Structure 1
Amino acid sequence: MIWRVDATHALWLLAVPVSALAVAGLARRFGAPAPLALVIAGLLISFVPGLPEFELDPELVLYVFLPPLLFSAAWQSSYYNMRENVRSIGLLSIGLVLFTTLLVGYAAYLLVPDLPLPAALVLGAIVAPPDAVAAVSVAQRLGLPRRVVTILIGESLFNDATALTAFRVALAAAVGAGFTFAEGLGRFLFAAAAGAAIGLLLGPPLHWLRTRLDDPLVENAVMLVAPFAAYLLAESVHASGVIAVVISGLYLGHRFTESPAVTRLIGHSFWKVVVFVLETVVFLLIGLQLPPVVNGLSGRGWGSLAWWALAVFAVTVAARFLWVFPSSLLPLWSARARERAAGLDWRERVVVSWAGMRGVVSLAAAFAIPFVTSAGAPFPGRDLVLFLTFTTVLATLLVQGLTFPALIRRLGIAGDRERYHDTVAEAGAQHAAANAALARLAELTAEGTEPVDPDVVERLRSLAEHRQLRAWERLGGGTGPAGEEVPSASYRRLRREMLAAERAAFVRMRDERRIDDEVLDRVLHELDLEEVSLARD
């Protein structure tokens, strides 16, 4: 098969990621939430005359964008933190999604005269899962307590599986496939169990392969293929691809400490770039969906549409509050479960309740609704479901997204004490690790072993002692008594100046053709690694 791409069409396609990266770069430069800036930019761009319609392809989202985004989030998440908050995560990712599906669906059925109940439940399932990307980015930047961030991340990892399964069951009923409640429940349980099993079965062999490749580039290439493999394998047997990706990501991320240092450095940088590019394109595409959504609404009154959109948005937001607060009162049958469930006060529950921004998965599901039923009749209210999905996604991103930082500041729930304890714990760990390193150095240089230059031993001992001190010094914010600069801060400042001088000398020698570009790349790589380690300190 020969593929031919029109140059003009290709340029328009290129304009989407280029515009997205430009907007995201400006937002990051000025400290604005990039997801919200991208959605607004997409809306504004959609009004440009002559711009082609960029209708969201559901297959593109579910098979190209979703797996790596989920995998990256799971890979960087803490397995232990997830396990400790499994009850809260489960109540949100399963219970809240199903509750929202029913509440929004029934409300839409009562509000919209010509929308049948099965189609209304399809709408409820579509808008049920929040996308926590925007909320988590704000929460981490403002320093929310770790448990709140963990719950939001865990919810966003697993709720898509519940929502997509509920969507398929509701859609089957709407098109006349005749699904019963028992069949829907069975499908959900099978999809979840089979997806988890595939993720668990795929994780160990991928980890085994990764640790035996001894090539950082190939190892990270395996990590790139892993989410697509997990998703496609699960979907091929009608299991949950989302759960398969998340489980395999959690497993591989938990075992990533066994990989070589270079592999970890490349992996962290690589996934940051991949996620940044995918998220920027996705949020811009959300804003660009305005023309294809509006084009299908001919003949409907804008007054009624505005009222229905406002009502669905309000019910979607209210459903989260109605679930989060009462669900914390559900009975717990063990002392250990009660201990794990304790900790979120009313202010943190308000934050979790307000962090319900919807995203691209909801739009992708809406665009996946077929145009006709199994009987050949037009799908009832397809254009309306698509419109209400778009307005709900947009309203949650703009209304909740723009007010989320102010709400956090107003409630005053920054995790300052938690960050202080983390710094103390890190300092203690650095101290113990340095002692272990010094003890090992003493063993290696003891009498009777291979002789080592005393200057080398002293340099290694000084380096270990320096690492021992710098975490304790960080408790003072990098300053000593009367604001004096502590030794480790002086070391970092002076060493950065030395590295800059070395780099300039290498570049000058390259320009004078005294060294080749390949030599320059090697020596700059060593300097860059050291400078990155200084930035970490």
Structure 2
Amino acid sequence: MSPTLGLQLLVVAAGAVGVAAVARRVGWPAPLLLVVAGLVVSPVVPAVPLEPELVLFVFLPPLLYSAALDSSYLRLRDVKRPVALLSIGLVLFTTAVVGLVVHLLLPGLPLALAFALGAIIAPPDAVAAVAVGRRLGLPRRSLTILIGESLFNDATALTAYRVALGAFTGGTVDLLDSTGQFLFAAVGGVAIGLALAFAFAWLFERTRDSLVENTLMLLIPFAAFLAAESVHASGVIAVVIVGLYLGNRMHLRGYGTRLVSGAVWKVTDFFLEAIVFALIGLQLVTVIEGISGFGAWQVAGYAVAVLAVTILSRFVWVFAVTSLMTVLSRGARLAPTRQQSVILGWAGMRGVVSLAAAFALPPGILPRDRAMLLFLTFTTVIGTLLIQGTTFPALIRRLGVSSAQEQYEDRLAEAAAQQAALEAGLAELERLTGEQEGEPDEIQRQVIEQLREKSWRRSLTAWERLGGGTGPGGAETPSALYRRLRRDMLQAEREVFVRLRDERRLDDEVLREVMAELDFEEAILERD
């Protein structure tokens, strides 16, 4: 990377962080404001190239890994059917429909390149939709489907993209060979992801150092992505598998690892997402200059047609799949409601991966065709972000889709779990004190009583929300005794929360909240 490009990216990063900070302050969706800001300043600032390798090998792996790490494996398993239908079926359906429409609009464009464009713009980026949905209380099942789709759809789209480009350079499409490539990419990605997940889990068991573990965490997504891509497997799937596996076992790490990890990945997400969405808007001049040889109304018509087909194809697929799921489940309990289907259909905003794939088109393509493909990708990405992104909050409010009942159930489950954890903690305290020789002295009795009172206070707080040193002679000081006993109680309480999560009586989000509370308390114990 040249010094000039490095300086440009530094300026973009600083400006993007500033715009994102403003968006957070005023409560607007940061991705949309960043794209608009990029579009506004693009004509008056030097062109900032969007390097495909930078996006696919530097930005994409940590963003995918962070999303997988923070996702719920158990919830994703519950919605595996709709996620598979969207991340595989919808991507292939969109690729085919958009490819055929583009071929009809531009008969001079090779059919393989038309399908390549379909694969480029097929995968949505759920960052903006999930951010809005969480803020407005979108039901957890809908959010999980959107997150699951965004985790896996890039793998399908990039594989279809490679097959289409292979057909363009080779001149023919072998359906059997293409299917084999897709299966190898998927199975290879899963195998490499699991192998690395087991290896890193084994390593973490022997590290027990929060600083070292979180440093390794930063390297994991790049290692998984490069390992899979080096054998032509899916790097996307490998990263997601590692993230889901380690995220589901995060409770086995120390409290310091969890506390630091949460902060590290929040900063990483904020920084990288700010840059990539700003880069989208900054490509305006580059894209417009490439189509200078076409008529303005002609290319505008092409752009509108491709954007409309992209949006409509998602609605057609979502409602067709919803109807099929309703029939197969003999009722609508397992299938999304009509309101949720509309939400899923409208949450099809495209992102930077589509632009990166368009910029990565091989040099053998005619400049005129390349410029048109890049323009249609850019207008589709911008169109979905600005049209669907800006209207998404109003649509959620208009349909009255809410997670209020889920939030009440979460608080109820948390209160019940706190009660069970309290009993486990007190039982552990009784066991520990019963193992001491002789009767406890007055100071020890006071410490034990404080521990009991603190446990009861935390349990009562949950219900309200619903409506190491030594003293003289080698004896433990009161503070050391308190810390030792309380740490053992905290561990017993954690085991209860994890068990209830595994028994599906507590959601992963609630588990993370209560684990964070326990981790902060243990951190305070270490500081005392």
TM-score category of the 2 structures, normalised to the smaller one: 0.7 to 0.9
Are residue 472 (structure 1) and residue 470 (structure 2) matched?
no
CA distance in 2, matches of 1:271, 1:92: 27
More helix by share: 2
Whichever residue aligns with residue 5 of structure 1, its letter is P
Whichever residue aligns with residue 76 of structure 1, its letter is D
CA contact (8 A) 1:39 1:283 kept: yes
CA contact (8 A) 1:121 1:170 kept: yes
Aligned length: 470
Are residue 15 (structure 1) and residue 3 (structure 2) matched?
no
Whichever residue aligns with residue 297 of structure 1, its letter is I
Q: CA deviation at 1:175?
A: 2.7
- Residues 410-463 of structure 1 show CA distances to partners (whole Å, capped at 9, x for unaligned) of 000111011101110001001110111111111212275474611101110111
* Residue of structure 1 in register with 2:43 after alignment: 47
After superposition, the Cα gap between the structure-2 partners of 1:10 and 1:224, relative to the gap in structure 1 and judged at 3 Å, is: closer
Unmatched 5+ stretches in structure 1: 477-527
Whichever residue aligns with residue 342 of structure 2, its letter is V
After superposition, the Cα gap between the structure-2 partners of 1:274 and 1:226, relative to the gap in structure 1 and judged at 3 Å, is: same
Are residue 288 (structure 1) and residue 282 (structure 2) matched?
yes
After superposition, the Cα gap between the structure-2 partners of 1:182 and 1:447, relative to the gap in structure 1 and judged at 3 Å, is: closer
Whichever residue aligns with residue 141 of structure 2, its letter is R
After superposition, the Cα gap between the structure-2 partners of 1:421 and 1:158, relative to the gap in structure 1 and judged at 3 Å, is: same
- Residues 382-422 of structure 1 show CA distances to partners (whole Å, capped at 9, x for unaligned) of 11000000000000000000000000000001110111011
* Residue of structure 2 in register with 1:5 after alignment: 3
After superposition, the Cα gap between the structure-2 partners of 1:4 and 1:344, relative to the gap in structure 1 and judged at 3 Å, is: closer
Are residue 436 (structure 1) and residue 424 (structure 2) matched?
yes
Are residue 400 (structure 1) and residue 394 (structure 2) matched?
no
CA distance in 2, matches of 1:329, 1:340: 9
Are residue 237 (structure 1) and residue 231 (structure 2) matched?
yes
CA contact (8 A) 1:175 1:379 kept: no
* Residue of structure 2 in register with 1:456 after alignment: 447
* Residue of structure 2 in register with 1:369 after alignment: 361
Are residue 216 (structure 1) and residue 210 (structure 2) matched?
yes
- Residues 135-167 of structure 1 show CA distances to partners (whole Å, capped at 9, x for unaligned) of 000111111111000000000000000000000
CA distance in 1, matches of 2:192, 2:224: 7
Q: CA deviation at 1:13?
A: 2.8
Identity, in percent, stands at 56
CA contact (8 A) 1:53 1:291 kept: yes
**SS of alignment partner, residue 300 of structure 1:** coil
TM-score by length of 1: 0.84
CA distance in 2, matches of 1:128, 1:468: 48
- Residues 340-397 of structure 1 show CA distances to partners (whole Å, capped at 9, x for unaligned) of 9714100000000000000000000000101215xxxx26611100000000000000
**SS of alignment partner, residue 144 of structure 1:** coil
Whichever residue aligns with residue 466 of structure 1, its letter is R
Are residue 37 (structure 1) and residue 47 (structure 2) matched?
no
CA distance in 1, matches of 2:325, 2:342: 21
- Residues 146-197 of structure 1 show CA distances to partners (whole Å, capped at 9, x for unaligned) of 1000000000000000000000111111233533222111100110011111
* Residue of structure 2 in register with 1:60 after alignment: 54
75, 78, 88: which is aligned to 1:94? 88
- Residues 193-250 of structure 1 show CA distances to partners (whole Å, capped at 9, x for unaligned) of 1111100111011011112112111001111111111100000000000000001110
CA contact (8 A) 1:231 1:244 kept: yes
Deviates more, 1:349-358 or 1:211-220: 211-220
144, 149, 154: which is aligned to 1:150? 144
**SS of alignment partner, residue 165 of structure 1:** helix
Q: CA deviation at 1:299?
A: 1.3
CA contact (8 A) 2:8 2:48 kept: no
After superposition, the Cα gap between the structure-2 partners of 1:530 and 1:292, relative to the gap in structure 1 and judged at 3 Å, is: same
Q: CA deviation at 1:339?
A: 8.6
